């Protein structure tokens, strides 16, 4: 069952938005590598991979619905995020923006009476709750212990232990 034109366009834009998020998190990883914060860099690289997986999930869905994916260009992300607190605050702001996009997609699916897409998007609605809460928790931790000396060293180690991250 083909997507409606509006639904198709909006989902297509979301593929690019998720790729943009991957690009942004990879830029944060690169900034952390330059500061020798390898744990935080690893955390951001895992996050970038998750964003790529988010993009691919929508990419595959568009194809399943007999529609074609058209990629758009990505803007260059910043190179300097102002240290750990700046980077995680930027991550939270970004996730809030993405939550708004996902909610608008759900609203559109309802308008178009596309129940399958509405159901497909539910995974993203839940994922965004988790994404915002994770970023918020890290910001609170940094604000509690500070981002210098031993506190920074331990925080970097802790975030580096994220491993493969959650699936999706």
Q: Closest approach of Cβ 129 to ligand OFO, in Å?
A: 11
User: Any contact of residue 95 with ligand OFO (CB under 6 A)?
Assistant: yes
Contacts 24+ apart (CB under 8 A), 73-77: 74/16, 74/19, 74/20, 74/23, 75/20, 77/20, 77/23, 77/24, 77/26, 77/27, 77/28
Q: Closest approach of Cβ 14 to ligand OFO, in Å?
A: 9
Nearer to ligand OFO, 54 or 65 (CB): 54
Q: Closest approach of Cβ 127 to ligand OFO, in Å?
A: 6
Which of 12, 18, 59, 108 forms a contact with ligand OFO (CB under 6 A)?
18
Nearest residue to 119 (alpha-carbon basis) of 130, 105, 131, 133: 105
- Binding residues for ligand OFO, rule CB under 6 A, total 8
């Amino acid at each position: 069952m083909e997507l409606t034109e509006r639904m198709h366009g909006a989902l297509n834009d979301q593929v690019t938005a998720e790729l943009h998020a991957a690009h942004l998190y990879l830029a944060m990883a690169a900034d952390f590598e330059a500061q020798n914060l390898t744990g935080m860099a690893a955390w951001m690289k895992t996050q970038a991979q998750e964003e790529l997986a988010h993009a691919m999930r929508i990419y595959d869905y568009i194809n399943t619905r007999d529609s074609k994916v058209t990629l758009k260009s990505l803007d260059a992300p910043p190179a300097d995020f102002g240290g750990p607190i700046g980077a995680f605050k930027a991550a939270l702001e970004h996730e809030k923006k993405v939550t708004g996009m996902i909610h608008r997609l759900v609203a559109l699916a309802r308008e178009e009476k596309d129940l399958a897409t509405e159901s497909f998007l539910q995974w993203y609605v839940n994922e965004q709750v988790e994404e915002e809460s994770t970023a918020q928790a890290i910001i609170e931790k940094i604000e509690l212990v500070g981002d210098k000396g031993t506190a920074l060293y331990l925080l970097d180690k802790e975030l580096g232990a994220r491993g493969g991250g959650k699936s999706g």
